[in-house]
């Protein structure tokens, strides 16, 4: 195909792949609407209930949540939501362009875009299991099992289930599901759940041990329900964890009533024990979800971190617009230290409760539930974290970028065949600058086991070899490795003597490596941690680093691409700040801007110089039978070589380099907040102490002597003083040679070293020729001098 120059500006398309951004083919964009989420099914308790509880019982209208002031901030009337306005599920629906979910128990409601099965007061465990644990439900018996039955009834009403029990029909392979168009586009949210199980146990006086024993049962039930939903056709499931319930006025008021002392609270005033229960729940839940992903590989199962999102509201109250002095107090209540009373609940008729003047400056609404403002911020963090993962799965795409440089290799092969210039500003594989630190003698490399990681480590090994250093151990993780796998490998690494670690991983889970290392105590004094450019990409992308992030990366040396200041750069950053006030740019963002600018300038020049632009078929690229790649649609860019030359000319400029004369302007703070340069080596945790042989002698005990508690003497003192001068710790044990009844033969003692019975021998051992042939001696440490042996004659002697 050929076109004239005058039309080329409007219809020519040039393939420009910007690595580290989303590269979405046109076919994928056309498929986006096909796979868009159009339905939500919500399961859970009062954190998500949009009105089921008040419609469940004839007396529902008498419940506190059915009265003022519930709903006053947004709906201006009670809706059955345990909040002054909207819930997290409401914000998620809005973000997906869907209407707010109607409760399942509302008659004649529209369920076209989803159903809310959550019920306030619902537990994960059913009534019989609660009874076995000495518990009972307070408000409703609509546990997760009941909500699942409601869901099945809903599907039956849609004609999706024939037998009411299974969605499989004569299937040998459980991964071959019979999918429903409605469920194929549905998002399932299971939880938050379990908070009431633990809350009711606390109210009934259960001990911390009894509540902890309840957690695995709750997780098992949640896992069972998620599995059954997937077997009924669910393919996208979000499972939130528990809130830090020790920060709620409910738990805090109960603690005050129990007379807990100050040691029961953390620095933010939250109950440590209650939060440990929630944390334990969340850890087990994430493990259960990982197992579900293995069982159902076709489904996307995501964990929603409610705990961190909630706790950030407490830690950053001032920054987020909450009143710090009242951050743990309920907005609606009847007084007390936390404005909460179990017997005088907000909204109860005849109770003199009061409502704060502005719910938007409070985190807690009624002592149990949060305000609309708090829920909106939690929803925002979840949307930012989870939706990109869902979208990635919906479109069936991967992200091309530094976290997957292997894709860049594949694309390079394609564009080379099609003669299309590839402009990549973020493919860092594998060029690493030569290290200039000769004291890195033995290095442990921690890297992601893909092309990006392996190639980088190969280059690192070559650079270290030039400095007479080497990689002592290569600790490789599979991409997106779970925390448990990272922990297992770091435990193995921690047993070794090298304390210099080079971390070359992807930004998406790099901080997890440091978080696990922090838990294992590997970021303490004496260690050196070096991160390649991924860490600065993460930190530079944050407008204000989270304190937890700063805590786990304190003392880490990171590499950053140098972008010198200039008027052009400052002007661009100023314009960017006005457009995206909440977003920061890292160096790759600057490279992206420069890359787009470069392509546009090159395209202008190319279209001005070239008379025609043409594409031809590539007969070497053909589709196989049944292929969905549509390779036959690809065309060769006839003028690709000319366009490439223009790009090269425009790009010609000297690279930015650092010089050896550059010095740090301040002292380095190493891991563990240490100002002293680490040694980079420690005695291995799995190593054996040095075996030091000492003579168990009977004479000249000033040199070596054995007491009832330890070996001592001048030789021992000299040896231990010398060991203390080393820049690292050395462990040793003293082993006595001889029975103590007579001084042993020193030549026999020395021979024990080459026979590997001792690693060294300490004592007043004479250096003689035969002994020097089998062992090495230290320099003599006893003063040398001339000794004359002569006959002594007495004064009165006549001799």
Beta strand segments in 49-163, E: 114-116
Catalytic positions, written as ranges: 46, 366, 369
Beta strand segments in 45-130, E: 114-116
- Mean pLDDT, residues 517-538 taken together: 76
Q: Are 22 and 386 a contacting pair, CB within 8 Å? A: no
Q: In a 10 Å sphere around its CB, with 0-12 CB exposed, 13-18 middle and 19+ buried, how is residue 290 labelled? A: middle
Judged by average pLDDT, the poorest of 163-167, 244-248, 608-612 is 163-167
Assess whether pLDDT exceeds 50 at residue 429. no
- The pLDDT, as a whole number, for residue 519 is 81
- The pLDDT, as a whole number, for residue 321 is 93
Contacts of 131 (CB under 8 A, 6+ apart): none
Kindly report, as residue ranges, where domains of CATH 3.40.190.10 are found in the chain: 690-772
Reading the block at residue 5, the tokens are 């120059």
Instruction: State the pLDDT confidence band at 409, using cuts at 50, 70 and 90.
Output: very low
Q: Fold for domain 690-772? A: D-Maltodextrin-Binding Protein; domain 2 (3.40.190)
326-378 pLDDT per residue, tens: 999 999 999 999 999 988 999 998 889 999 999 999 999 999 999 999 999 99
| Cα 527 to Cα 126: distance, rounded to the nearest angstrom | 50
Contacts of 774 (CB under 8 A, 6+ apart): 750, 751, 753, 754
Assess whether pLDDT exceeds 90 at residue 436. no
- State how far the alpha carbon of 366 is from the alpha carbons of 69, 82, 501, 665, 721, in Å: 10, 8, 49, 52, 66
Average pLDDT, the chain: 76
- The pLDDT, as a whole number, for residue 676 is 58
Kindly report, as residue ranges, where domains of CATH 3.40.50.2300 are found in the chain: 442-563
Closest C-alpha among 314, 306, 200, 326 to residue 266: 314
Assess whether pLDDT exceeds 60 at residue 680. no
66-79 pLDDT per residue, tens: 999 999 999 999 99
Higher pLDDT, 377 or 404: 377
Instruction: State the pLDDT confidence band at 27, using cuts at 50, 70 and 90.
Output: very low
Judged by average pLDDT, the poorest of 133-147, 150-164, 331-345, 532-546 is 532-546
Closest C-alpha among 370, 362, 242 to residue 306: 242
- The pLDDT, as a whole number, for residue 20 is 30
3-state helix, strand, coil in the chain (%, to 5): 40, 10, 50
CATH number of 442-563: 3.40.50.2300
- The pLDDT, as a whole number, for residue 605 is 74
Higher pLDDT, 94 or 662: 94
| Cα 309 to Cα 191: distance, rounded to the nearest angstrom | 15
| Cα 670 to Cα 667: distance, rounded to the nearest angstrom | 9
- The pLDDT, as a whole number, for residue 563 is 76
| Cα 561 to Cα 566: distance, rounded to the nearest angstrom | 15
Tokens 């009431």 appear where?
196
372-397 pLDDT per residue, tens: 999 999 998 888 778 766 654 543 33
Collect contacts of 21-24 with beta carbons under 8 A, ≥24 apart: 21/400, 21/401, 21/592, 22/397, 22/399, 23/397, 23/399, 23/400, 24/395, 24/397
- The pLDDT, as a whole number, for residue 505 is 77
729-756 pLDDT per residue, tens: 677 888 888 887 788 888 888 998 988 8
Share of the chain above pLDDT 70, in %: 69
- The pLDDT, as a whole number, for residue 623 is 62
Reading the block at residue 202, the tokens are 């606390």
Judged by average pLDDT, the poorest of 40-44, 582-586, 758-762 is 582-586
Q: Which CATH number fits domain 35-47+86-168+175-322+378-394: 3.30.60, 1.10.3470, 3.30.200, 3.40.50?
A: 3.40.50
- The pLDDT, as a whole number, for residue 590 is 78
Assess whether pLDDT exceeds 70 at residue 510. yes
Tokens 């435990």 appear where?
491
- Mean pLDDT, residues 644-672 taken together: 61
Contacts of 729 (CB under 8 A, 6+ apart): 682, 683
Assess whether pLDDT exceeds 90 at residue 7. no
688-732 pLDDT per residue, tens: 788 899 988 777 778 888 776 678 888 888 888 888 887 666 778
| Cα 784 to Cα 732: distance, rounded to the nearest angstrom | 29
- The pLDDT, as a whole number, for residue 173 is 37
Decide: pTM greater than 0.75.
Answer: no
Instruction: State the pLDDT confidence band at 425, using cuts at 50, 70 and 90.
Output: very low
Higher pLDDT, 122 or 533: 122
| Cα 548 to Cα 554: distance, rounded to the nearest angstrom | 10
Assess whether pLDDT exceeds 70 at residue 545. no
- Mean pLDDT, residues 634-661 taken together: 66
Q: What is the edge-to-edge ordering of all strands in the sheet holding 690-695? A: 732-737, 690-695, 760-761
Which one of 309-318, 590-599, 760-769 scores highest in mean pLDDT? 309-318
Find the DSSP H helices in 104-188.
127-132, 144-157, 181-184
Find the DSSP H helices in 665-798.
714-724, 746-751, 769-772
- The pLDDT, as a whole number, for residue 2 is 36
Share of the chain above pLDDT 90, in %: 33
Q: How many CB atoms lie within 10 A of CB 727?
A: 10
Instruction: State the pLDDT confidence band at 86, using cuts at 50, 70 and 90.
Output: very high
Closest C-alpha among 321, 39, 267, 47 to residue 155: 39
Instruction: State the pLDDT confidence band at 662, using cuts at 50, 70 and 90.
Output: low
Q: Are 111 and 105 a contacting pair, CB within 8 Å? A: no
183-196 pLDDT per residue, tens: 888 999 999 999 99
| Cα 214 to Cα 765: distance, rounded to the nearest angstrom | 67
Assess whether pLDDT exceeds 70 at residue 511. yes
Q: Are 144 and 121 a contacting pair, CB within 8 Å? A: no
- The pLDDT, as a whole number, for residue 177 is 38
E strand or H helix at 508, and its extent? helix 507-519
């Amino acid at each position: 195909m050929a076109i004239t120059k005058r039309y080329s500006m409007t219809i020519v398309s040039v393939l420009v792949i910007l690595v580290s951004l989303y590269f979405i083919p046109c076919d994928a964009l056309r498929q986006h609407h096909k796979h868009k989420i159009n339905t939500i099914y919500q399961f859970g308790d009062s954190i998500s209930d949009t009105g089921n509880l008040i419609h469940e019982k004839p007396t529902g209208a008498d419940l506190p949540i059915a009265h003022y002031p519930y709903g006053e901030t947004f709906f201006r009337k009670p809706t059955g939501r345990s909040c002054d306005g909207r819930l997290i599920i409401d914000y998620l629906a809005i973000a997906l362009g869907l209407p707010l979910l109607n409760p399942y128990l509302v008659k004649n409601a529209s369920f076209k875009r989803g159903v809310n099965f959550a019920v306030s007061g619902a537990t994960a465990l059913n009534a019989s299991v609660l009874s076995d644990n000495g518990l009972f439900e307070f408000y409703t018996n609509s546990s997760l099992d009941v909500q699942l039955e409601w869901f099945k009834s809903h599907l039956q009403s849609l004609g999706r289930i024939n037998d009411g029990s299974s969605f499989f029909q004569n299937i040998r392979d459980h991964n071959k599901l019979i999918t429903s168009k409605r469920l194929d586009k549905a998002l399932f949210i299971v939880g938050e759940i379990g908070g009431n199980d633990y809350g009711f146990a606390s109210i009934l006086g259960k001990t911390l041990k009894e509540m902890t024993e309840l957690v695995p049962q709750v997780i098992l039930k949640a896992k069972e329900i998620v599995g059954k939903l997937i077997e009924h056709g669910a393919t996208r499931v979000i499972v939130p964890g528990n809130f830090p319930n020790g920060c709620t006025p409910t738990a805090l008021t109960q603690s005050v009533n129990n007379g807990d002392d100050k040691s029961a609270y953390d620095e933010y005033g939250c109950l440590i024990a209650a939060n440990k229960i929630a944390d334990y729940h969340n850890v087990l839940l994430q493990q259960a979800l990982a197992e579900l992903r293995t069982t159902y590989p076709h489904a996307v199962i995501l964990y929603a971190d409610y705990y961190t999102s909630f706790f950030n509201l407490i830690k950053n109250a001032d920054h987020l617009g909450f009143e710090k002095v009242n951050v743990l107090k309920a907005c609606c209540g009847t007084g007390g230290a936390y404005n909460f009373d179990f017997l005088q609940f907000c909204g109860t008729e005849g109770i003199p409760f009061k409502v704060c003047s502005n719910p938007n400056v409070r985190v807690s609404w009624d002592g149990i539930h949060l305000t609309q403002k708090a829920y909106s911020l939690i929803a925002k963090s979840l949307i930012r974290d989870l939706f990109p993962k869902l979208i990635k799965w919906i479109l069936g795409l991967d992200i091309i970028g530094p976290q997957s440089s292997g894709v860049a290799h594949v694309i390079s092969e394609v564009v080379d065949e099609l003669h299309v210039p590839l402009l990549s500003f973020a493919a860092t594989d594998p060029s690493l600058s030569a290290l200039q630190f000769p004291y890195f003698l033995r290095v442990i490399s921690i890297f992601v086991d893909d092309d990006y990681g392996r190639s980088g480590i190969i280059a690192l090994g070559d650079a270290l070899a030039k400095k007479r250093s080497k990689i002592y151990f290569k600790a490789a993780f599979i991409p997106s490795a779970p925390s448990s796998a990272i922990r297992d490998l770091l435990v193995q690494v921690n047993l070794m003597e090298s304390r210099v670690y080079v971390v070359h991983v992807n930004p998406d889970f790099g901080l997890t490596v440091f978080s696990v290392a922090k838990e294992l105590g590997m970021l303490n004094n004496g260690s050196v941690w070096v991160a390649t450019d991924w860490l600065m990409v993460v930190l530079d992308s944050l407008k204000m680093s989270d304190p937890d992030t700063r805590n786990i990366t304190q003392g880490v040396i990171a590499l950053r691409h140098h972008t010198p200041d200039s008027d052009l750069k400052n002007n661009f950053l100023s314009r960017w700040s006005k457009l995206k006030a909440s977003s920061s740019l890292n160096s790759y963002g600057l490279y992206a801007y420069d890359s787009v600018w470069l392509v546009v300038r090159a395209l202008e020049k190319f279209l001005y110089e070239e008379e025609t632009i043409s594409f031809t078929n590539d007969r070497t690229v053909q589709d196989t039978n049944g292929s969905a790649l549509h390779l036959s649609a690809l065309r060769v860019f006839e003028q690709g070589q000319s366009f490439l030359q223009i790009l090269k000319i425009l790009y010609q400029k000297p690279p930015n380099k650092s010089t050896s004369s550059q010095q740090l302007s301040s002292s380095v703070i190493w891991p563990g907040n240490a100002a002293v340069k680490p040694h980079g080596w420690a005695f291995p945790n799995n190593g054996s102490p040095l075996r030091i042989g000492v003579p168990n002698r009977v004479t000249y005990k000033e040199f070596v002597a054995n007491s009832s508690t330890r070996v001592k003497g001048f030789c021992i003192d000299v040896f231990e003083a010398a060991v203390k001068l080393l820049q690292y710790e050395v462990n040793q044990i003293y082993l006595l040679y001889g029975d103590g009844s007579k001084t042993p033969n020193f030549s026999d003692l020395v021979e024990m070293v080459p026979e590997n019975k001792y690693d060294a021998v300490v004592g007043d051992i004479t250096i003689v020729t035969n002994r020097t042939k089998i062992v090495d001696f230290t320099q003599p440490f006893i003063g040398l001098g001339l000794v004359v042996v002569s006959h002594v004659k007495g004064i009165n002697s006549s001799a």
